[in-house]
Structure 1
């Protein structure tokens, strides 16, 4: 292993431009708006909950006037007509107070997105202009106390009354009350309500309806009961509430009818005959929210790392005995170990998120996008969101600890970052459920139908297409045979340092793990069902294997995005710096799962030790440029209010 190494220099403005990508102007607009409201971080600590909720609303409405929150809506309604720009704007908001970010997400992403994606022109004409300007405030009433991830089983009903051409919205019991609904407790006048549509006594599954919940004075309309969810772990600038509906009547036109219609005389029609496929097609149009949450989590990680790295470059402690000089925290190997693999992973996830956002823009910009492309997008969004939000939780906590007792002070931001991002792991889908969605796509390639997203429905679907088909028709074995020749096995005579910084070797190793785990899951499912096992029990017995395969798949996608980004850069110091981080991300991922690689003969004991030694060496190489790497995130100084770095 080389002992002499000169770290690359970093052109910070150029690297910041690279990170901002094609939407640099959009991101700068958001940074400018955040800087103008920099005192909101102090207000979050000092104001009462009610006052801070109003403060957050005021900021959101003011931002709406700048155009930053409406970039994804059609231009004819005051939007920017650019979905990619809207994602970039939302992600950048995560540098500031996260209650503002979530309030924006609820109003423009969830409420507005549902009307845009599930409604038709009459709905767009009626609501979008006022929604985009912030004049019409709304909420997204999907989750219920008794049902969160399992949306198909929602209890709220919408019964069609042909005599009056109205839908009657009802909450049958407390388990069916709408719960945790952002904007509901104080500010929303209108809700998009997801309910079981019943026509002529027959259930047609979950559909969405536009339902007024408050009158012009702000009081609940007749038949609607509203309750505040109360104090939360974080995000207390967002007014989460509960909703009950007692026979609330809305006109037939309240049905968001892009995928289904109910005629005046009570006939149900839809171009998508399969009810499961219709349901998941409907939910698939709302994937943008999932993409945005993952991107926001990654950007929140950048804030935490910026504070922790800058503190590590200032704070001194202990030192060489007898020298009288104390050492900077980041001159200690373990302190570098704590932060720099997380820094590398943040860069990796940033580029994976950039690719995902580009894919979303491409798919949503073309009405004729194939079903296969849409499913691939949904799967990638689910996996990236899961890894990005878990990464945020881990990174923020590690950065807090790396700042010692100072990190525990509210003024240094970690408490708000930790509390406000904690819910992201279950926002827009519980991460474990999302990885089951990824695994289902891997096992079946979705074939030609949709299945339930819960664990039981997933097993029924896999069983229905026969796991033999999965094994025969996928390229699992061919890929394993091909990769076996290029992935080094447990050979004690092999030089343990050989190929440690070979990008193709990193990719091959992650690909081999993914394909091996996928084949193993399929074999276990087949074996269990061949033995006559109950599908739910068979799935439960290997659920950890299923999630592991999905995680391995997404981690490989993240590395590929990083490698491709580095490969597309012009030769220069920034490219060298990104290559350094790419190697650190890949090797730290391999090191984290080295027990698996050793169990399966892909790493020898000596090679495993060499990987750990190289991770330490790469952290040493990152040390001279770490400050530049976090400066390139370009977090506004007003958002880096931490006393410990000023």
Structure 2
């Protein structure tokens, strides 16, 4: 039997070389963003009154626009860089600094600018894009309402076409339809992309987006537009969130963002996409960049927290051996390693997954070969990755704060801002629980299609792999189904825990088993005559587990692919240790499920815990280099306990 306590020789890790590898193809973009954030005018601030803070963030956003940082993803003919991948890299890196600035930029260039670019056509681009890129035209993305958040198809705001005047009439019928939590709205926004139910005569083709002016050049709200300030929030108070309502505001017919649908002067609705659901999800799908960017930003915020906590743990000493001459470094304690280093490994795993999804988005938005199936898979990947990464940021920042004790509670050490400013990441650009349900729905659809297309031998192999659930059953199954012995995995007790093929097999087996199980539950409920909504609701916890297992497996695969691309043997070995720690700590966290389903014996489960402990000891030896490789300048990190 292979040993599970293999200890590699110490790795000599070059943090700069690893940083260059992590920076990937957009190294220069990331370095430029770091240099800009390192300047004194971007230094972190604390305790500013809200009004002053909002104005400072607006000024800093305009500085970034002047440096060319905000237009990288827009077409060259309007002053942009024509490179979506570069824009994502710049935005992610911006998350190392003030997160109010990050979100302000996300609203202006990602949401308002993205709606304009992806839902509008040339007439809208010519009028507004250049001003948007320069930050001369602060805009809003007015989708969410008091009464409707994730359920966008049920929005209450209406846009009724009046053929007599060739105008749309934008109206808020009740308080529940008030646009809520709209970034840029409270103070700075002069224009908005407003999502409303289109009404053309007796036809109601669903939610569409319209350009609606909000304020005049002096900042005064226009007639029929009511603006309220959302006020103080838990965090991100440099962003002026507000509420918008409209009292029969008239806008020209050309204000409809008409890439996917239009209305003629005579009042005829036209669209190349006949199915209203497909049309809606096509429109919403073009705004996927927001989810990708939020996930990347959350991942970098988590890196900030880990860098502070790991550096502190390598300086701070406490207690030590009885009679010893010196105290012990915090990071030499197993409990300290356990609370930080699996999270560090997960941050690396999520980094490579983010790199992968950003590359796919770049292809999708740059005219590369991209099928409708590719688009669906990208939307699912972006949704799942946003959920897992923002939850990871929340957990990591809290654990890092605790690992720094009372020092972490001081505002100057950045955890207060990190905790407060990232808290909303789990619910904006899609509530994480809803996003996981979206992922699971796609998996179930693909599962159904997969069964429909399977030939008989493939179906038998699939079923054989799913029904064999215990070590004893496997042994019996090999005797009973000799013809299928090759599809059954070797005994787990014979496998090396640091075998990446074995790790991937465990993660894939869990994903496939849970998916098959929830599909059976849903089908059984519906076959027995229960209402499909109630059946889904009863299975919701199972559905969420399906999505989580899928996303964790995807992240593992992305990490493995990132290691395989690396040509430097030392970097490859260091990343391999982190990958082992990510995979085994993920399996350990769900070992109850593996034990319940017979895939792990109790002895094997204990060995996994032992191996995670050993990996933590190995990774601790390179912990300083691993966080330094994130490339966060000291001026940007700005936490005294993390500085030399």
TM-score, normalised to structure 2, is 0.94
Alpha carbons 1:160, 1:266 under 8 Å: kept: yes
Alpha carbons 1:304, 1:414 under 8 Å: kept: yes
Alpha carbons 2:43, 2:636 under 8 Å: kept: no
1:536 equivalent in structure 2? 533
1:34 equivalent in structure 2? 37
Distance 2:629 2:297 in 1: 17
Q: SS in structure 1 opposite 2:44?
A: helix
Q: SS in structure 2 opposite 1:230?
A: coil
Distance 1:276 1:496 in 2: 49
Distance 1:477 1:297 in 2: 43
Q: 1:277-334 CA distances to partner (integer Å, 9 max, x unpaired)?
A: 0000000000000000000000100000000000000000010011141100001011
Alpha carbons 2:37, 2:43 under 8 Å: kept: no
Distance 1:503 1:484 in 2: 24
2:337 equivalent in structure 1? 336
1:241 equivalent in structure 2? 242
1:419 is displaced (CA, Å) by 0.7
User: Relative to structure 2, which stretch is displaced further, 483-492 or 356-365?
Assistant: 483-492
Q: SS in structure 1 opposite 2:622?
A: helix
1:5 is displaced (CA, Å) by 3.8
1:454 equivalent in structure 2? none
2:147 equivalent in structure 1? 146
1:41 is displaced (CA, Å) by 1.3
2:173 equivalent in structure 1? 172
1:507 is displaced (CA, Å) by 0.4
1:640 to 2:637 alignment = yes
Distance 2:570 2:450 in 1: 46
1:470 is displaced (CA, Å) by 6.6
2:347 equivalent in structure 1? 346
Alpha carbons 1:490, 1:602 under 8 Å: kept: no
Alpha carbons 1:94, 1:297 under 8 Å: kept: yes
| Aligned match for 1:551, one of 548, 553, 562 | 548
1:629 equivalent in structure 2? 626
Unaligned runs of 5+ in 1: 447-466
2:52 equivalent in structure 1? 51
2:71 equivalent in structure 1? 70
Q: 1:262 to 1:39 in 2, by over 3 A?
A: closer
2:93 equivalent in structure 1? 92
1:583 is displaced (CA, Å) by 0.3
1:302 equivalent in structure 2? 303
Q: SS in structure 1 opposite 2:38?
A: helix
Q: 1:389 to 1:330 in 2, by over 3 A?
A: same
1:13 to 2:16 alignment = yes
Query: Map of 1:372-391 to 2, 5 A cutoff?
Result: 372-391=373-392
2:505 equivalent in structure 1? 508
Q: SS in structure 2 opposite 1:249?
A: strand
Q: 1:598-635 CA distances to partner (integer Å, 9 max, x unpaired)?
A: 11111000000000000000000011100000000000
Pairs aligned (count): 623
Q: 1:445-486 CA distances to partner (integer Å, 9 max, x unpaired)?
A: 39xxxxxxxxxxxxxxxxxxxx6x775446787446458899
1:211 equivalent in structure 2? 212
2:322 equivalent in structure 1? 321
Distance 2:452 2:233 in 1: 50
Distance 2:469 2:82 in 1: 46
Alpha carbons 2:495, 2:502 under 8 Å: kept: no
Distance 2:223 2:461 in 1: 63
Q: SS in structure 2 opposite 1:167?
A: strand
Alpha carbons 1:185, 1:242 under 8 Å: kept: yes
Q: 1:551-578 CA distances to partner (integer Å, 9 max, x unpaired)?
A: 1111100000111111121142111000
Query: Map of 1:185-584 to 2, 5 A cutoff?
Result: 185-366=186-367, 369-445=370-446, 471-473=451-453, 478-479=461-462, 481=464, 496=493, 498-584=495-581
Q: 1:423 to 1:476 in 2, by over 3 A?
A: farther
Q: 1:46-84 CA distances to partner (integer Å, 9 max, x unpaired)?
A: 311000000000000110111111100000000000000
Q: SS in structure 2 opposite 1:46?
A: coil
| Aligned match for 2:26, one of 18, 23, 26 | 23
1:357 is displaced (CA, Å) by 0.3
Alpha carbons 1:490, 1:604 under 8 Å: kept: no
Q: 1:109-162 CA distances to partner (integer Å, 9 max, x unpaired)?
A: 000000000000010000001100111110100000000000000000000000
Alpha carbons 1:490, 1:601 under 8 Å: kept: no
Distance 1:155 1:302 in 2: 40
Q: SS in structure 2 opposite 1:445?
A: helix
Distance 2:368 2:203 in 1: 31
Alpha carbons 1:181, 1:242 under 8 Å: kept: yes
TM-score, normalised to structure 1, is 0.94
Alpha carbons 2:190, 2:219 under 8 Å: kept: yes
Alpha carbons 1:490, 1:598 under 8 Å: kept: no
1:188 is displaced (CA, Å) by 0.6
1:490 is displaced (CA, Å) by 8.9
Q: 1:595 to 1:381 in 2, by over 3 A?
A: same
2:116 equivalent in structure 1? 115
1:534 is displaced (CA, Å) by 1.4
| Aligned match for 2:589, one of 576, 588, 592 | 592
Q: SS in structure 2 opposite 1:323?
A: coil
Q: 1:567 to 1:489 in 2, by over 3 A?
A: farther
Query: Map of 1:118-129 to 2, 5 A cutoff?
Result: 118-129=119-130
Alpha carbons 2:503, 2:584 under 8 Å: kept: yes
Unaligned runs of 5+ in 2: 476-489
